[in-house]
């Protein structure tokens, strides 16, 4: 993360770093804040990685979903993660940094495959609602 804060070119990667780290450290499932954070971060990863939204639009989507956080249910986390920060830390700040973070974020998203359907349907439902009410991403 330090490399991303010190290099403006890497700041666009920062949201993927935050998302991957957050979903790999989901916290206490009895904590409403932890449950909501995981749901929002998974949705942002999905929007950036699979719906090819810009980081800024993914943030807008998080704000829309955040207005409906009370409906987010606890998700059972994966028992293991395929790729972690420890696996990519050697590339921090190098020419491979952004690609390594994208691989990590993609892996983190894929590790939660059991919940992809619910995350995507919730995001799409509220995005449709925001478009009809005039609130939409960039």
- The answer as to whether 49 is a domain residue is yes
Q: Confidence class of residue 99 from pLDDT cuts 50, 70 and 90? A: very high
Within-domain flag for 138: no
**Residue whose tokens read 């952004």:** 98
User: How many distinct structural domains can be found in the chain?
Assistant: 1
Full residue range of the structural domain in which residue 32 is found:
2-132
Per-residue pLDDT, 52: 72
* Residue 137 domain-assigned (yes or no): no
Distances (CA, A) of 21 to 16, 28, 109: 8, 15, 11
Instruction: Tell me if 114 is assigned to some domain.
Output: yes
SS3 content of the chain, % helix, strand, coil (to 5): 70, 0, 30
Q: What is the pLDDT of residues 31-84, one digit of tens each?
A: 999 999 999 999 999 988 987 777 777 778 778 888 777 778 899 999 999 999
Return the DSSP state at 4.
Answer: H
Three-class secondary structure of residue 55 per DSSP: helix
The pLDDT tens digits of the residues spanning 22-34 come to 999 999 999 999 9
């Amino acid at each position: 993360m330090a490399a991303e804060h010190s290099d403006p070119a890497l700041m666009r990667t920062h949201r993927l770093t935050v998302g991957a780290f957050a979903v790999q450290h989901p916290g206490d499932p009895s904590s409403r804040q932890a449950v909501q954070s995981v749901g929002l971060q998974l949705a942002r990863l999905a929007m950036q990685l699979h719906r090819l939204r810009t980081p800024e639009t993914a943030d807008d989507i998080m704000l829309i979903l955040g207005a409906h956080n009370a409906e987010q249910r606890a998700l059972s986390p994966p028992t293991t993660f395929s790729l972690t920060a420890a696996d990519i830390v050697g590339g921090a700040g190098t020419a491979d940094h952004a690609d390594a973070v994208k691989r990590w974020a993609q892996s983190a998203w894929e590790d939660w495959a059991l919940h992809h359907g619910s995350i995507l349907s919730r995001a799409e439902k509220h995005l449709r609602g925001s478009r009809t009410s005039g609130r939409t991403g960039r």
